């Protein structure tokens, strides 16, 4: 049994196969083979969601599976049942479990105690499904053949990540860049520099510390093939909103800043975007912006991930 808790849980060769399958699922759309027919997968969400919930639910449906929506508020978890006992019970009913939560340790406890595959649909530490959708989107653009998504097309490309460079998306990009041979330069306030958690993820995966950090946004973006940013105030950080908005203003992605990147650079954002904060409306609407391709590809790459993890139907 295999889980998908972080970017490096699939090897380079497995990522290549996932991308091939995602490209085929994208071509087939609603005619994707029912590889998960008669399976039921739980979707346990501690946090609100738009893209994650809809893309997983639609993906499960297109693979022939049934999605069981769960929230902590209407489960015995809210009355003190342990995560371990809940994981053991759900394993008797379900074929897999998709979890979106705050603490990464919660996800790991479910994976450890249960006997079914667990998929990370976002934690405060990492967001690997979004990251795979991002990489797949870039591989589509950079692969020579139409309909192809060659993971090798990513090697040597430069990504600039701006803003909160200690957030879950920054951690995921740091790990993914080392995993795929990409260059990554991050820029943000010194207080939001990449954390020890990112270094620990690299160490656990036996990967080198290849990322660079600077407080100079232009230095990070110069010559980049991709400029990436995320919201400055994530769910759970609302009390710090005023301070964060003030500190991160120099890292807003504007057309002027994009001009420092490579001529054919792409702008990416995992959404929801806040125009006028981390990115200008002009950049969001520009031809460099591929944010909705990223959003769509959540569906296709997650179908490939689910198909890879699925065992024999119950």
**In this structure, what token pair is assigned to residue 73?**
């508020």
Assess whether the region 12-126+295-310 and the region 132-290 belong to the same CATH fold.
yes
The catalytically annotated residue of 130, 247, 277, 302 is 130
Q: Is 38 annotated as a binding residue?
A: no
User: What mean pLDDT, rounded, does the chain reach?
Assistant: 95
Ligand-binding annotation for 270, yes or no, is: yes
How far is CA 1 from each of CA 41, 119, 257, 287, rounded to the nearest angstrom?
15, 12, 45, 42
298 noted as active-site residue: yes
pLDDT over threshold 90, residue 1: no
**Residue 269 annotated among the catalytic residues of the structure:** no
| C-alpha count within 13 angstroms, C-beta hemisphere, residue 239 | 1
Tell me which fold the domain 132-290 belongs to: Rossmann fold (3.40.50)
- Active-site pick, 104, 298, 300, 302: 298
Residue 51 known to bind ligand: yes
Residue 270 is a catalytic residue: yes
Q: Does residue 222 have a known ligand-binding role?
A: no
Active site (annotated) includes residue 167:
no
Residue 244 falls in the annotated catalytic set:
no
Q: Is 130 annotated as a binding residue?
A: yes
Residue 287 to residue 72: CA distance in whole angstroms: 41
Asked whether residue 66 is marked as a ligand-binding residue, the answer is: no
- Per-residue pLDDT of 48-70, as tens digits, reads 899 999 999 999 999 999 999 99
Q: What's the CATH fold of domain 12-126+295-310?
A: Rossmann fold (3.40.50)
Both structure tokens of 107: 């996800």
- pLDDT for residue 314 is more than 50: no
* Lookup: tokens for 59: 């993906």
State the pLDDT at residue 311: 67
**Domains of the chain, residue spans:** 12-126+295-310, 132-290
| Max intra-chain CA distance, the chain | 56
Catalytic residue among 134, 230, 244, 300: 230
In the structure, what pLDDT confidence band is assigned to residue 297 with cuts at 50, 70 and 90?
very high
Q: Residue 259: what pLDDT?
A: 98
HSE (CB half, 13 Å, CA atoms) of 188? Answer: 26
The model's pTM is 0.96
Of 3, 53, 100, 269, the catalytic one is 100
Catalytic annotation present for 53:
no
Lowest mean pLDDT across 40-49, 96-105, 169-178, 240-249: 240-249
């Amino acid at each position: 049994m295999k889980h998908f808790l972080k970017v490096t849980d699939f090897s380079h060769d497995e990522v290549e196969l996932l991308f091939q399958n995602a490209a085929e699922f994208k071509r087939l759309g609603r005619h994707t083979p029912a590889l998960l027919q008669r399976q039921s997968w739980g979707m346990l969400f501690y946090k609100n969601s738009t893209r994650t919930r809809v893309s997983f639910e639609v993906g499960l449906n297109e693979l022939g599976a049934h999605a069981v929506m769960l929230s902590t508020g209407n489960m015995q978890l809210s009355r003190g049942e342990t995560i371990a006992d809940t994981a053991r019970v759900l394993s008797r009913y379900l074929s897999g479990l998709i979890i979106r939560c705050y603490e990464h340790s919660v996800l790991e406890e479910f994976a450890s105690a249960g006997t079914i595959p667990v998929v990370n649909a976002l934690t405060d530490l990492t967001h690997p499904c979004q990251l795979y959708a991002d990489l797949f989107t870039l591989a589509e653009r950079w692969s020579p053949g139409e309909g192809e998504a060659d993971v090798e097309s990513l090697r040597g490309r430069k990504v600039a990540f701006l803003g909160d460079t200690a957030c879950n998306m920054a951690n995921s990009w740091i790990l993914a860049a080392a995993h795929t041979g990409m260059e990554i330069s991050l820029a943000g306030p010194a207080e939001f520099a990449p954390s020890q958690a990112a270094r620990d993820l690299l160490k656990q995966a036996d990967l080198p510390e290849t990322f660079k950090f600077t407080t100079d946004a232009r230095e990070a973006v110069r010559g980049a093939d991709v400029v990436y940013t995320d919201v400055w105030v994530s769910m759970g950080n609302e009390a710090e909103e005023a301070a964060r908005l003030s500190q991160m203003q120099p890292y807003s992605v504007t057309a002027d800043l994009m001009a420092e990147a490579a001529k054919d650079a792409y702008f990416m954002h995992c959404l929801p975007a806040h125009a006028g904060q981390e990115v200008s409306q002009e950049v969001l609407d520009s031809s460099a912006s591929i944010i909705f391709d990223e959003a769509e590809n959540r569906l296709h790459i997650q179908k490939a991930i689910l198909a890879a993890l699925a065992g024999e139907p119950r």
